[in-house]
Amino acid sequence: MKIGVFDSGYGGLTILSKMRQHLPQYDYLYLGDNARTPYGTRSFEVIYDYTLQAVRYLQQQGCRLIILACNTASAKALRSIQQRDIDPDQVRVLGVIRPTVEAVPSLTRNGHIGILATPGTVSSQSYVLELEKIFSQHQASCIVHCPPSIVQQSCPMWVPLIESGEHTGIGADYFVDKYLHALLAQDPLMDTVILGCTHYPLLLPKIQQCLAAMQRSDIQLVEQGDIVARSLEDYLLRHLEIAHDLTNEGTVRYLTTEAADKFNQSASLFLSAPICAKKVIF
Ligand code: DGL
């Protein structure tokens, strides 16, 4: 059986590539709902419906474990799906927010944290609630500053820029500058910024350039790829019954709800390797 990796579009590829670096032996099935991206500006009901459809589809395709490599889906749909819609003996569904949050207490020096995410993730308050919880748990060990200072900035234009291949152009500079200034203006003491959307690492060069221009290169940027991959590694060590069900041929297949040619062209650029995807309808 395979590990399914789901995102609204190309963003989950940033997670998949790290998972394949850490755990190359497994078989992966990537599903990008590119025809309906972005999710981040949609309602709770729609995000939940779309995510559940994707989970059911990946399960039908033989996935024993499904990673929602999408913060918006993790924030808006994961809990309901885990609690109501799946039989954990048949399939496990995991998200990306919890592992990211668990990494933060050891990264920040002063407990001032910023979150960049889609409007859906920001409005769900998932990061804020999870961070508050984790910091209060760490309080006893005196590692962290409690309560932390947490501010969020939604970036509604970043996913559309990336999905349309405009993230390296000069048009993207305006929106990177706009959202970073808005985030930092909320808390000048911020020392750590979570890139809370799996698409955002594709904007990393521009984000770093903008922080340098603001003389804030000291800010630590939290990317999710390695964090999620390490957390999956750990999960499989703790759940040997699931690891045992996974096949070990080291393959990867790509599915998209958009035209396969369009996906192949963009995804190949993101992964710097040729890709041959299949279009699916679910
Ligand atoms: N990569 C998704 C995330 O991590 C983007 C969601 C969207 O389509 O807006 O949130």
The answer, yes or no, to whether residue 138 has pLDDT greater than 60, is yes
- Comparing C-alpha atoms, which of 9, 1, 28, 10 is closest to residue 229? 28
Classify burial at 204, counting beta carbons within 10 Å of its beta carbon; exposed 0-12, middle 13-18, buried 19 or more: middle
Q: Which of 63, 155, 197, 210 is catalytic?
A: 197
| Token representation of residue 218 | 């000291």
- To test the pocket of ligand 1, the residue of 5, 6, 8 to mutate (highest count of ligand atoms within 8 Å of its CB) is 8
* Residue 210 annotated in active site: no
The answer, yes or no, to whether residue 213 has pLDDT greater than 90, is yes
- C-alpha torsion sign, points 76, 16, 38, 150: positive
- To test the pocket of ligand 1, the residue of 98, 162, 195, 199 to mutate (highest count of ligand atoms within 8 Å of its CB) is 199
| pLDDT, average across residues 1-12 | 96
pLDDT category at 143 given cuts 50, 70, 90 is low
* Residue 63 annotated in active site: no
Per residue in 214-244, pLDDT tens? 999 999 999 999 999 999 999 999 999 999 9
Q: Name which of 60-69, 162-171, 192-201 the model is least confident about.
A: 162-171
- SS3 call for 37: coil
- Comparing C-alpha atoms, which of 132, 121, 81, 80 is closest to residue 97? 121
- Comparing C-alpha atoms, which of 2, 67, 77, 92 is closest to residue 39? 77
Say yes or no: CB of residue 18 within 6 Å of ligand 1.
no
